[in-house]
Structure 1
């Protein structure tokens, strides 16, 4: 994705109507009333009766975010076109920019009659995307040499959220690439939103269900290769709790792919057990061998679990890397998944964990209350007026 290809990240003032055919386009103008807060509808009726006025909204969030306004702005222009009006948008923080807590992301100007009933839906399309973009940015920045795949769709509440989150990941990723040279998100799991990552198709090979269907990890790999002979393979290896044994069996079955770097193993071990060959003692030993500084110093319980605990820990990944290298499969990649949120990515970075790719949907906001964007009118027909306590929203 090239951020700003539609102009929203390069122009301070955005005008005109955009065509939106995606789920994030939201309800058409004649359905907005059914989905917006009732007091906004009553406000609209009052203003229609007593006379319209031109207003300016300041839109902000209460926590730091990365600006991801495109889908929200596209929707506003779509509604404006349907209603035969125009909204002027002064985008203070263009797409991909860091926004401080309480700082207006944009100023929205137009008819109060036409804007009053849009606030509910507009804010829904802005806040969560900005928080998810922030999370994606921090994850990619902490692990600049790791490629990420967005696997969030299954965790989303419907198609509109799925699009918002994919878009957000692409925005946060692009910032990490631009600011720090990170690899960032190289793709995602669903074709409908692959275009946000500059792709025509989605990424992915096999879920656990295919392993269960095949009856063995090796057989699943063989079936996949027979069906898609020209594609690289990423094989899940945790189904039978034989992560190392099954990984090596697949490598020996496909030595050419392994030597060409077209074979990867994916570890998705649940937090209820350690990977094959690992226990707490082994976990500490493997990190002591590779990154002793990672386990010397204060760690809270969550950080310690990410380092040496059950599931997909830093120690587990180091252990797998050693096993592959010792068997001569140095070009076989390691894909890690299972709860790779910003906190876990930070710990993985501190342990210099040898991950090639992370598949994750955990850039989704974890505290939904932090995703609430707020819009306050700060000007009526050119006269500055805002509720007491929000004077900070006036343009500097």
Structure 2
């Protein structure tokens, strides 16, 4: 809770408004709702128009909640007579317990019930990403300092998800993200240096590619991607010797199917570890090589297949990584939400095993 309170004190977590979101208008027609919800809506309109239903939403793990503002905007945009609905909600960034109620809606079923599955889906995706990022950020401060985590999930899912995923990553604690779209809901711009494609354009000459980058973007911190030739120590030293203090960092993104040339030249360092891809032995050797030539200021960014568990291992071994780039593991959707009707006309009425779970932390949502 401490981080959540600190963020709120600094005003960094704010309610988003309806204007933030770009919903597909077909939501109104039920295009994205399960058909049985649409049939129930038709029956409710015919037989139960005056019944007031209370629906509550929950999930089953410890998590960082995200999606509340998006859900509220969805309801206000597509529910019939939304001003007549009573909505209570937690906030984006709240830490939540298993089975804790995060949202309740009270009103005629036919006015909002068809949105149930869409609401579940919004909460599931946003909360999963926010929780994944939170766990990675938490792992990256195990050594006592908060190391930056760059959200690099642009290639791991459909591009239309970037704005919401970027916001969820921000709620989880990552403020450095790969695309402008990822920053859309919270007002920043994407960051990035060079991809392998840039080095390829210069026929594998990392120094030439880095010089071109510096001349084109002189205001950026200069960071070189050093695994193109599968020899990260040789190429890191090449750029460091040319750019000296101007070089701020190097990024390693060695493929998990490759063994860096360092191990081929130094077979005696091989042990029981897997030498493929980015690994602690390679990073230790790179740090030593840079420091030996006086380039202690050059930071190391590691990317490629990182998860919270892997970062925890690196931090426990004090592997000299200064920044982590993380992508696909942050987009795993593993938290499912459930919407239940638990009251009718203020009285308990729910399927077996479910009941109304009041939550004093819920905030009443005013209608504009």
The TM-score bracket by the shorter chain reads: 0.7 to 0.9
Of 272, 277, 281, the match for 2:262: 277
Question: Which residue in the other structure is 2:166 paired with?
Answer: 166
SS in structure 2 at match of 1:118: helix
1:378 paired with 2:351, answer no
Q: How many residues align?
A: 341
Change (3 A) 1:200 1:131: closer
Report the Cα distance in structure 2 between the residues aligned to 1:157 and 1:257, rounded to whole angstroms. 36
Question: Which residue in the other structure is 1:253 paired with?
Answer: 242
Of 86, 89, 95, the match for 1:88: 86
Change (3 A) 1:395 1:256: closer
Question: Which residue in the other structure is 2:299 paired with?
Answer: 333
**Cα deviation code 1:59-86 (max 9, x no counterpart):** 1112222111222222222224x75544
Question: Which residue in the other structure is 1:146 paired with?
Answer: 147
SS in structure 1 at match of 2:249: strand
Question: Which residue in the other structure is 1:155 paired with?
Answer: 156
**More displaced stretch, 264-273 vs 370-379:** 370-379
Question: Which residue in the other structure is 1:268 paired with?
Answer: 253
Of 234, 237, 241, the match for 2:226: 237
**Cα deviation code 1:5-35 (max 9, x no counterpart):** 22x7xxxxxxxxx32354xx43226644111
Give the unaligned 5+ runs of structure 2. 1-6, 360-368
SS in structure 1 at match of 2:198: helix
- Quick check: 2:252–2:278 contact (8 Å CA) kept in 1? yes
Report the Cα distance in structure 2 between the residues aligned to 1:73 and 1:241, rounded to whole angstroms. 49
Question: Which residue in the other structure is 1:79 paired with?
Answer: 78
Question: Which residue in the other structure is 1:19 paired with?
Answer: 18
- Quick check: 1:71–1:125 contact (8 Å CA) kept in 2? yes
Deviation at 1:268, TM superposition (A): 0.1
Deviation at 1:249, TM superposition (A): 0.7
Report the Cα distance in structure 2 between the residues aligned to 1:283 and 1:141, rounded to whole angstroms. 31
SS in structure 2 at match of 1:364: helix
- Quick check: 1:210–1:220 contact (8 Å CA) kept in 2? yes
What is the correspondence of 1:85-234 to structure 2 with a 5 Å cutoff? 85-91=83-89, 93-144=90-141, 145-159=146-160, 161-173=161-173, 185-194=174-183, 200-215=188-203, 216-234=205-223
Change (3 A) 1:85 1:116: same
Question: Which residue in the other structure is 2:362 paired with?
Answer: none
Report the Cα distance in structure 2 between the residues aligned to 1:84 and 1:100, rounded to whole angstroms. 29
Deviation at 1:199, TM superposition (A): 5.4
- Quick check: 2:30–2:114 contact (8 Å CA) kept in 1? yes
Deviation at 1:281, TM superposition (A): 5.3
TM-score by length of 2: 0.85
Change (3 A) 1:30 1:339: closer
**More displaced stretch, 210-219 vs 104-113:** 104-113
Question: Which residue in the other structure is 2:62 paired with?
Answer: 64
Give the unaligned 5+ runs of structure 1. 9-17, 174-184, 285-303
Question: Which residue in the other structure is 2:3 paired with?
Answer: none
The two structures, once aligned, show a CA RMSD in angstroms of 2.3
Question: Which residue in the other structure is 1:300 paired with?
Answer: none
Report the Cα distance in structure 2 between the residues aligned to 1:203 and 1:75, rounded to whole angstroms. 30
Report the Cα distance in structure 1 between the residues aligned to 2:346 and 2:194, rounded to whole angstroms. 58
- Quick check: 1:61–1:103 contact (8 Å CA) kept in 2? yes
Change (3 A) 1:381 1:283: farther
Report the Cα distance in structure 2 between the residues aligned to 1:169 and 1:214, rounded to whole angstroms. 34
What is the correspondence of 1:16-55 to structure 2 with a 5 Å cutoff? 18-22=17-21, 25-28=22-25, 31-52=28-49, 53-55=51-53
Change (3 A) 1:96 1:281: farther
**More displaced stretch, 245-254 vs 93-102:** 93-102
Report the Cα distance in structure 1 between the residues aligned to 2:320 and 2:153, rounded to whole angstroms. 23
